[in-house]
Chains A and B, each alone.
Chain A
Amino acid sequence: MPLKKNLRKIAIIGSGPIVIGQACEFDYAGVQACRALMSLGLEVVLINSNPATLMTDPDTATKVYIEPLEFDHVKKVLEKEKPCAIISTLGGQTALNLSIELSDRGVLKDLNIQLLGATADMIRQVEDRNLFSQMLTRLGCKYAENVLVKNFKAGMREVQKMGFPVILRPNYTLGGAGGGVAYSLEEFRGRLSIALSESPSSEVLVEKSLLGWKEFELEVMRDARGTFVIICSIENIDPCGVHTGDSITVAPQLTLSDRAYQEMRDEARKIIEEVGLETGGANIQFAVHPETGERLVIEVNPRVSRSSALASKATGFPIAKISALLAVGFHLDEITNSITQKTPSCYEPALDYVVTKIPRFDFEKYDGVEDLLSTQMQSVGEVMAIGRTFKESFQKACHSLEKREEDVSVIFSEDGLTYPNSRRMQFVLSALRLGYSVEDLHTLTRIDPWFLEQFGQIVEMEKYLQGASNKWDEGLIRRAKCYGFSDRQIARHIQAKEQDVYKYRKKKNIRPVYYKVDTCAGEFQSHTPYYYSTYWSAGNEEQKPLKPRLMIIGSGPNRIGQGIEFDYNCARGVQQFKKMGYEVGLINSNPETVSTDYDISDQLFFEPVSLEYVREVLHFFKPTTFVIQLGGQTPISLAEDLTNEGFVLAGSSLKTIDLAEDRGQFVKVCSRFGFKIPVNGLASNFKTALKIAEQVGYPLICRPSYVLGGRRMALIENEEELRAYFQRYRDFSESRPCLIDQYLDSFLEVDVDLVRGPDWSLIGGVIEHIEAAGIHSGDSMGVLPPQRLKPAVCDRIEKLSLALAEELQVLGFLNLQLAVREDEIYMLEANPRSSRSVPFISKATGIPLVDLGVSAMMKKPAEEVSPEQYNWKTLPLVCVKGVVFPFKKFKKADSILGPEMKSIGEVMGRAEDYPSALTKALISSDFKLPAKGEVFLSLRDKDKPLLLSAVQDLIGLGYTLSATGGTARWLKSEGIKCDSVRKVHEGRPHCVDRITSGKIVLVLNTTSGRRSINASFGIRRSCMDYSIPCLTESHAIQAFVLALKERGKKDISVCHLREKR
């Protein structure tokens, strides 16, 4: 059946900000769906609060609403737009839950809106653990012994009947949030109360643990005609007990016999029929006993998921796009496979390669967090690699992680093998090197022996290489490349230089070839150049160049500090380059992204974004130029080597990049332009540090000069702390000094993004940070247009910034971070590339900043670009950037903010005035705005006067206050009533008890100094665990109180990006 007749306008709900467990794979899904529906001539209304997505680009849908994904706001959008239907299955758990709510509360019925894809009943059937178990019983499927508990007492009673370990699974949560494994009653006690509070229905499934069972996933699709296909089978190398998002996985499954696989397939079909999934994609997880082969059903997700994004990239089957088409009435056999362009989409992809996904963890960013994996997802990104064999694919995936230590032997304990952690495979390899047998390791890790043997073969190859050191054995090197060894790895084993291995390979013509991902293992001709490299062949599958070629280098796995924003920049950049007449290639290793959709670029290379792999791709693709300004810091670091190899860099020259990145040179340029630079110095030991501290003055900021992304950056208040810092980190030296910076206390921080072409330049926007300088720009809330910056100073900033761009001879993007106090303007950082804030600015201002940057890079003159048509100051609305943190998922992390970036996602609040925009941003970043109740305060002295009026406002709004010692005394001295509460070390009941008892609705806690921070950790942590808003910075507190004050004064208003006002 083709398009349903009664559909004209369709709403798609996105997944909101990036959080752990729900990342840009839903942007990929949403964009695919929008494109597919728009191509049918349908009107698409998109609602999402995340400005960093391509989905919220005004060109992606007919109308784009950047609004909170919260009942009232979405309802408002639906009332205004009156769509015929909603597709609920493309925006993760967020969209599903919201759709149930809209349905339950009658909104869909009142507005006569159909729910496409999944109905509320169906969602309940798989999300409600009790109903789910009943359904499986009905079908004769097996599942792990479990019991649903609704309160603490019942939980404690039931678990004793079951025995340990057990898994806790809260109902209706995302990414396993609030769940986990408990090995003992003590552990269970703690987890149960958190799990109960996490579940929106206060229900927790306590399940007998399947630790050690093999885990599989099937990605399936069904259409309204009942056609059922398995798109991809996925096998987890990590056995059950690790969240699938945190597991290393392969596709297709590799260790099941056909009989076992077909039984699983049959069971999947039965379940999907019973669930009543009429159309769309779903994901079913199974556990298989390693010895008996007994199979249990773990979970069903009746929607597009993280795994389905992976499956789409792994197979070339665009699950989200097809889901959208099925939802509006098409059948699988009516949709042509876009890769073969002749066969229909009712088929099961056949793979003639192996795909490996490895999650990326950033535990080191969060002090005190234990590297232990469990059923609650903790990874922040992932990489995927394709190779002809598992060994090639696994090693390529390791190179893609951009973590350099991945292939080095490390010291480990057997606990590191037994208890899943982010470095376990590294430990396994190290153990194999020490002579552990496959049997030993299987006993310790429960990893299937097949995989352990493969790892063993990698280690064996290392030994051959080591044995051949000083001799260049062509056959051996060829074989090592087939095993996925990088030049750097080979160099280390044969004791040569990476560059020498490369030279030798060139001489002997040991080069990769590029094979296509074609969905059919070569059975039909592929018309889509979606490539991976392999050394298992001698002949390429080339496509003749059609137009001048250009290669964009992507940003690799998402991590803290480099995320979806760069995917937006790349994907939007591809579109603009295409418009300019280029055949655009793109290289990236991140399966979650829009940019790795083979429909976006002309040629897609799914490869590690490392020098070796990028260089080989460029040799194969032979572009006229390559682009490094769109993918964040990763491509910037490749610019020099690629230029030396003879490839032509687009836009700003190496010299410009060096000028901006080299601190010494940059300081000189800045001072010529009237920018001040924070006083700073380099110290190789505590003694020199002390001297520098005298010039710089306290507080100051210390950070290693050689570590990127703000790691180990610390705010130091006094000499004692400085000493402690140098005692904690003992690896500073002449060649690896510590950078000491003046701390710009209570400065206003702003971000400037600009583009400069050959004869023109343009300010994209100036974002004013809400928090004072000292909080990482990625962690600060921001507002555009600035609210506190004086217009005259703003003008001066713009002028100086443009002049600086001129001096640096920028061609393309430049991002500046500045700190301002009165008339002083300090330069903190310059990035000669598109920045994290580009998507936010583009959407806030309506200026197509990426397109302009791309035109600038390619030296388009002013007369073609007409930059004068854009003016960021004629903003229709105030836009506030809100920030989302993953602290909750990291059990022992501190939520206090500082110079090191810790946030993972961002949101945008758009409204006519600042307080309303602020409110929307806070709602979107999942801050609960409490209506009444007790506010707990613990403030450091210097913030007290600053916050007096905010505190008075709280009283005026009817909140009651409680505070610890000093703060309570101060409040009383100001004539403000408050309850005194004990500090933690003053004995019980203390302030943390009061928070966990549920009495407190909001916590305001500012503090500094290592000792005070440690002392108040419990306050912040309990807020995280019990989802109580906790603010740790004075300006943010002021903004929050402003939002509380203005809330409810006006009706909610929503407006789409291109709405004329």
Chain B
Amino acid sequence: MAPGILILETGEMFPGEWGGGEPRAGEVVFNTSHSGYEEIATDPSYFSQILVMTAPQQGNYGVSDEVWESDRMWIKGFVCLEMQSPRLEKSWRERLERNQVPLLTRVDTRRLVLRLRDKGVVWGAIVPRSGNSKSLALDLIRKGKKKPKDWTAAVSVKVMQDFKGEKETGPKVALIDFGYKKNILRELLKRCSYIRIFPSQSDIQDIKRWEPDGILLSNGPGDPADVKKGSELVKKLMGWKFIFGICMGHQILAQAVGAKNYKLKFGHRGGNHPIEDQLSSKIYMASQNHGYAVQENTLPKEVAVTHRNLNDQTVAGMFSKKNHFLGVQFHPESHPGPRESGALFDLFMKKIKENAS
């Protein structure tokens, strides 16, 4: 096995073993979930990110393609301590390789995580270890950062897609795609009659013409401040139909009402964060994956903070009676992670109904 290395843009090096794929750069983030590597790697929100799994042993239970959260892998690299040997015909290692995702194993991931925690997330690159590793890595990082700013546009569908839901009496829902996870669609299919997925930069008329009963703004990658067109679109849709925003969708809702988002030092990525839900007066564990959060003091008065991350008291959800929307920073669709907040999809259906009458 050849030596490889993760080099951060700030110069720190984390040597490991090159496990295949091709050298790539991305923002280095860590996820504390014990399981769910497939769901995470195929979640479009991880676009342009190198994923560090804190659970040391990965690939243990092989692969099952039906749990993918999109049609491809979005991560720019997979870093862990040890990867299941490729004995299995269908192994995670082999899937990463097939998708050219660089795999770096035998990395002191805890030291890396403590670095990211203490000094914040940065860009890095996974490259083979050699005399010019560093210049190669820095070059990759420079090029990677040059990408167009609105990442959601890069991952969104380019044309509308229609789905017939499983519930004939259910509502018609427009899913505006900033990088949606398939499980959001699966949750909607169970509850809706029709679903149309709209590209994130759709023309408002296209949406209005379809006459949906409700709108769901999906999760997605990157800095919400860069999602200019999407935010404009949402601003215009506001108050028309009930809107449910998840993660990026939630941040865009905040922007649409004039609030700001800020970058967290190292984000929340995992399946063990406690959320206090004031709507149901419950506390539950939620699946999380975000690097930005809504700045509470910039929210207009009419927007109520309804969910809170109890670890750091950040805004985890908000509700506007006036503008008919609900936004949550976490992932009620889970995959991976606990499924306790799945009832929020039911709440969305209820709100659609209330809004219609």
Contacts and interface: CB of A to CB of B under 8 A. Distances in A.
Interface stretch (A348-356, A755-763, A818-826): A348-356
B283 A258 contact: no
Contacts of A229: 285
21 contacts: A225-B281, A225-B283, A254-B57, A255-B60, A258-B36, A266-B339, A344-B310, A344-B311, A347-B311, A348-B271, A349-B272, A388-B56, A388-B81, A390-B57, A521-B270, A522-B114, A523-B117, A523-B266, A536-B81, A536-B106, A538-B108
B57 A346 contact: no
B272 A269 contact: no
A233 B55 CA distance: 14
B111 A350 contact: no
Interface in B91-110: 106, 108-110
Contacts of B108: 536-539
B345 interface: no
Contacts of B266: 523
A920 B103 CA distance: 66
Contact of A521 (B67, B82, B113, B311): B113
Nearest to A260: B61
**Which of the listed residues B54, B56, B64, B272 has the most CB atoms from chain A within 10 Å of its own CB?**
B56
Contacts of A637: none
A804 B336 CA distance: 67
A521 B55 contact: yes
A333 interface: yes
A523 B32 contact: yes
B6 to A, nearest CB: 15
B68 to A, nearest CB: 12
B111 A537 contact: yes
Contacts of B57: 254, 354, 389-390
A184 interface: no
A1029 interface: no
Q: Which of A347, A453, A515, A541 has the most CB of B within 10 A?
A: A347
Which A-B residue pairs are the 8 nearest by beta carbons? A258-B36, A521-B54, A258-B336, A350-B32, A348-B272, A522-B113, A258-B35, A227-B283
Contact of B274 (A252, A346, A389, A523): A346
A986 to B, nearest CB: 62
B133 to A, nearest CB: 18
Give the one of A261, A351, A457 with max B CB within 10 A. Answer: A261
B340 interface: yes
Contacts of A266: 339
A350 B54 contact: yes
A269 B106 CA distance: 36
A227 B280 CA distance: 12
Contact of A347 (B30, B35, B114, B285): B285
B285 A332 contact: no
A152 interface: no
Nearest to A482: B106
Given A346-B310, A522-B117, A269 B274 contact: no
B87 interface: yes
Contact of B35 (A227, A261, A537, A541): A261
B111 A252 contact: no
B65 to A, nearest CB: 12
Contacts of B109: 352
B337 A522 contact: no
A225 B55 CA distance: 30
Nearest to B281: A225
B282 interface: yes
Contacts of A515: 110
Contacts of B67: 257-259
Contacts of A269: 340
Contact of A333 (B39, B276, B285): B276
Given A258-B36, A343-B311, 20 more contacts: A257-B61, A257-B67, A258-B35, A258-B337, A265-B338, A333-B276, A343-B312, A347-B311, A348-B272, A352-B32, A352-B109, A352-B110, A450-B61, A515-B110, A521-B270, A522-B32, A524-B117, A536-B81, A536-B108, A537-B110
Interface string B28-47: 00101111100100000000
A256 B61 contact: yes
Choose among A350, A523, A525, A537 the residue with the greatest number of B CB atoms under 10 Å from its CB.
A523
Nearest to B334: A262
A1055 interface: no
Interface in B59-100: 60-61, 64, 67, 81-82, 84-85, 87
Contact of A254 (B60, B281, B310): B60
Given A259-B67, A269-B340, A537-B111, A333 B81 contact: no
B292 to A, nearest CB: 17
Interface of B: 30, 32-36, 39, 54-57, 60-61, 64, 67, 81-82, 84-85, 87, 106, 108-111, 113-114, 117, 266, 270-274, 276, 281-285, 310-312, 334-340
B36 A524 contact: no
Q: Is the contact region of chain B dominated by helix, strand, or loop, or is it mixed?
A: loop
A343 B270 CA distance: 15
Contacts of B336: 258, 262
A520 interface: yes
A867 interface: no
Given A352-B55, A352-B56, A524-B311, A453 B35 contact: no
A775 to B, nearest CB: 50
A350 B338 contact: no
A349 B271 CA distance: 10
A226 interface: yes
Contacts of B271: 348
A332 B283 contact: yes
B303 to A, nearest CB: 23
Contacts of A388: 56, 81, 110
Nearest to A515: B110
B55 A351 contact: yes
Contacts of B282: 225-227
Nearest to A332: B283
Contacts of A257: 35-36, 61, 64, 67
B307 to A, nearest CB: 13
Interface string A482-524: 0000000000000000000000000000000001000011111
A804 B24 CA distance: 74
B186 to A, nearest CB: 12
A390 B33 CA distance: 17
A388 B58 CA distance: 12
A614 to B, nearest CB: 23
B183 to A, nearest CB: 10
B270 to A, nearest CB: 6
A898 to B, nearest CB: 48
Contacts of A450: 60-61, 84
B308 to A, nearest CB: 10
Contacts of B338: 262, 265, 348
A387 to B, nearest CB: 9
A332 B272 CA distance: 14
B272 A352 contact: no
A228 to B, nearest CB: 8
Nearest to B283: A227
Contacts of A349: 272
Nearest to A388: B56
Contacts of A353: 56
A292 to B, nearest CB: 14
Contacts of B283: 225, 227, 332-333, 346
A258 B285 contact: no
A227 B284 contact: yes
Contacts of B274: 227, 333, 344, 346-347
A920 B310 CA distance: 51
A325 to B, nearest CB: 16
A538 B109 CA distance: 11
B61 A255 contact: yes
Contacts of A262: 334, 336-339
A523 B31 CA distance: 9
A16 B111 CA distance: 44
